Amino acid sequence: MKANLEKPAEPTEVTQRENSSEPEKPVETDRPITLSFVIPCYNSQDYMDACVSSMLGAGDDTEIIIVDDGSTDKTAEKADRWAEHMPDTIRVIHQENAGHGGAVMAGLRAARGKYFKVVDSDDWLDRVALNLLMARLRMFIAHKQRVDLVVCNYVYEHILTGSRKVIRYINALPMNRIIGWNQVRRFGVGQNILMHSAVYRTEVLRESGLELPKHTFYVDNIFVYQPLPYVKKMYYMPVNLYHYFIGREDQSVNEKVMLGRLDQQMRVTRLMVDAFTQHDEPRNPHLERYMEGYLALIVTASSIFSILRGDREALNMRDDMWKHIESRSEKLAKRLRRHPLVWGVSLKNPAVRSTQVKLYRLAQRLYRFN
């Protein structure tokens, strides 16, 4: 998620448009919708056109929902012009600023599509890959094949350096096959299914009880994580669909920005712990392994940023994170502490923690994720 999608939460800076609305349920239509795109926008006037344009031409069975999240620039006007120009395809929701999570939830409540895809307003989709995706989704629907999650590759586009990194799932997921969790293999470092790579069946998101917190960054991890136990069948298309813009200094994934928002990172970590521990019934062991590995990565990231900040408040937040994990499940806490990613950052030894920071810097250079 990007910093431009949310503004500071001070009441004096929140504006409400006179025609603001946030539909609580999808608008009735006779036209079947295969895929709903939701574009959360906050002050996106300079780049939202490219984002919206990248989804056009995908078919009459698509819809684009632009959520103007209390923008103070020309985003709202641009969104309205798009809707006026293409009323059968594009709808606009104007709402008070609620952050990325609040904008996604507004889009989810309004979505009419069988499938659901979030695209941040400074990112874009590859047209060829999108057409291939649409053909596959239509086939699932025509043959009444229930596929809960479609996974595609995504591309880190590091604009300032001109570098790009494609994240693929070739070794973790069988290609071009409907599979269950028993067919899922081990995921490598950097291979977690993120919001950029995920296309969910809309009802799976709703059935999971997904509710993203407002005015909180990094909720894209909750979005893709909480519904996983409701996924029975999935499909991996090895196409480079999503292009993820990265490199601007004000982005929420910028390291300096993340250090300043450590409390929000910790909030997301706690909610993911809650999502992991909320199901009492036994889960598929492959699903359990994947979810625990993803959670270990998030716990490691939260710990690393606590260490990088190094002040007492940051280290206390890390201690409170572990207390929360232990309160939810002592068994989970023990397993996480033994996880290769988490082991070093959970220790008090400065030398071990220093090694973990060096490994983080190495991954940063390899994957260019912030």
* Domain annotation for the chain: domains and CATH numbers: 35-246 (3.90.550.10), 255-367 (no CATH)
CA-CA-CA-CA torsion for 272, 166, 342, 281, nearest 10 degrees? 40
**Residue 258 clears pLDDT 90, i.e. is over it:** no
Specify which residues 149 forms β-bridges with: 200, 234
Distance CA 49, CA 56 (A): 11
Q: Please tell me the pTM assigned to this model.
A: 0.87
pLDDT of residue 353: 60
The answer, yes or no, to whether residue 131 has pLDDT greater than 70, is yes
CA distance 24 to 22: 6
189-229, pLDDT tens digit by residue? 889 999 999 999 999 999 999 999 999 999 999 999 999 99
DSSP string over 304-349: HHHHHH-SHHHHHHHHHHHHHHHHH-HHHHHHHHHSHHHHTTTSS-
**275-331 pLDDT, tens digit each:** 999 987 789 999 999 999 999 999 988 998 988 888 999 999 999 999 999 999 999
